[in-house]
Structure 1
Amino acid sequence: MARTKHPELTRAALLDAARRVLRNHGVTLSLDAVAREAGVSKGGLLHHYPSKERLLQALAHALIEQFHSQLQAAHAKEIALHGDAPGAWLRAYIELSFVVDEEVDALTAALAPLSALPELLRGLQEAQRFLITDAEADGLPAGRAHAIRLACDGLWAGRNSGLPDLDDVQRAALKEELLSWTRF
């Protein structure tokens, strides 16, 4: 990769390379492998991400931003189809939560060690604060909104932590139950 006057493009290319390395090699990601994949020197990589933790933190934030964008699009679609009635944001959240994306699941699993670093965890929690504020602003009672969101999060976390997963019938029943909680 040639040196660019647009460091944001270089950082994006480095994150894409890190995604590919994680997808292909899992948690054995090394800065050397990412630099090779991106076509830059290790020094060039370190210029933008001075440590493996900083690179992984940036990748985690990029995944959060990607999910947030997908959620905003799903919410807009829900509003276009059914109006801006209470529960529209949560219905979009439910829909996204039941989509299995193996690449995102693999990347998230590879980033799990970040949760052991309190200073990084705080930043990730703050970046996802919208999950609480948007759920509460959706027009449903706060307790119900949080129960729906946490059930979706539990489904996702269980699938990504080795807990027994639901079969298709059980998954469909759970999804319908959660959606029913968003309707009046």
Structure 2
Amino acid sequence: MPRTKAPELTRAALLDAASRVLRTRGATLSLDAVAQAAGVSKGGLLHHYPSKEQLLQALAYALIEEFHTRLQAAHAHEIALHGDAPGAWLRAYIELSFVQDDEIEALTAALAPLATLPDLLRGLQEAQRFLIDETEADGLPPGRAHAIRLACDGLWAGRNSGLPDLNHAQRTALKEELQSWTRP
């Protein structure tokens, strides 16, 4: 990777390289492997991310940001199709939750050990606070809104933690039921 005066581009390229290495090696990735995949020296990598933990933390935050961006686009699409009625945000959340993205799921599973670091976990929880705020602002009764979001989260977490997954018919039935809960 040639030297650039745009450090944000360099950091993005380093995160992309870390993502590729993480998908193949899991959380055991080394900074040497990431530097090699990015085409920079280890010192160049350490200039932007002084430790493996900081690199993985930045990758986790990038995944949260990417999901939030995808969710905002799905919400805008839902509004364009059906208007901004109560439940529109949750319908978008349901849609994204039922899309299986093996690449994102592999990355997220590989980053799971970061959850054992209390300071980092607090930061990740705060970065995802929008989930609670936007759930509550969606116009449905709060208990129902949180039940929908948590059911989606449980589906996703189950797939990524080795719990038995639902078959196609079961997933379809669950999705339809959750969507029906978003209609006032």
Which residue does the alignment assign to 2:130? 130
Which residue does the alignment assign to 1:60? 60
Q: Displacement of 1:3 after TM fit?
A: 1.3
Counting only pairs closer than 5 Å after superposition, residues 167-182 of structure 1 correspond to structure 2 as 167-182=167-182
* C-alpha separation in 2, matches of 1:109 and 1:69: 20
Which aligned runs of 4 or more in structure 1 are off by greater than 6 angstroms? none
Which residue does the alignment assign to 2:159? 159
Counting only pairs closer than 5 Å after superposition, residues 12-91 of structure 1 correspond to structure 2 as 12-91=12-91
Q: Displacement of 1:27 after TM fit?
A: 2.2
Which residue does the alignment assign to 1:140? 140
Which deviations, in whole Å up to 9, do the C-alpha atoms of 1:39-75 show, x marking residues without a partner? Answer: 0000110010010000000000000000000000000
CA contact (8 A) 2:22 2:110 kept: yes
Structure 1 residue 115 and structure 2 residue 77: aligned?
no
TM-score (norm 2): 0.99
Which residue identity lines up with residue 30 of structure 2 in the other structure? Answer: S
Q: Displacement of 1:126 after TM fit?
A: 0.4
Return 5+ residue gaps in structure 1 as ranges.
none
Query: Which SS does the other structure have where 2:19 is aligned?
Result: helix
Q: Displacement of 1:155 after TM fit?
A: 0.2
Which residue identity lines up with residue 174 of structure 1 in the other structure? Answer: L
* C-alpha separation in 2, matches of 1:15 and 1:73: 23
Q: Displacement of 1:29 after TM fit?
A: 0.7
* C-alpha separation in 1, matches of 2:132 and 2:25: 33
* C-alpha separation in 2, matches of 1:173 and 1:15: 37
* C-alpha separation in 2, matches of 1:183 and 1:140: 8
Query: Which SS does the other structure have where 1:140 is aligned?
Result: coil
Query: Which SS does the other structure have where 1:4 is aligned?
Result: coil
* C-alpha separation in 1, matches of 2:57 and 2:27: 14
* C-alpha separation in 2, matches of 1:120 and 1:47: 21
Aligned CA-pair RMSD: 0.5
Aligned length: 184
Query: Which SS does the other structure have where 2:86 is aligned?
Result: coil
* C-alpha separation in 2, matches of 1:183 and 1:91: 9
* C-alpha separation in 2, matches of 1:126 and 1:5: 31
TM-score (norm 1): 0.99
* C-alpha separation in 2, matches of 1:74 and 1:80: 10
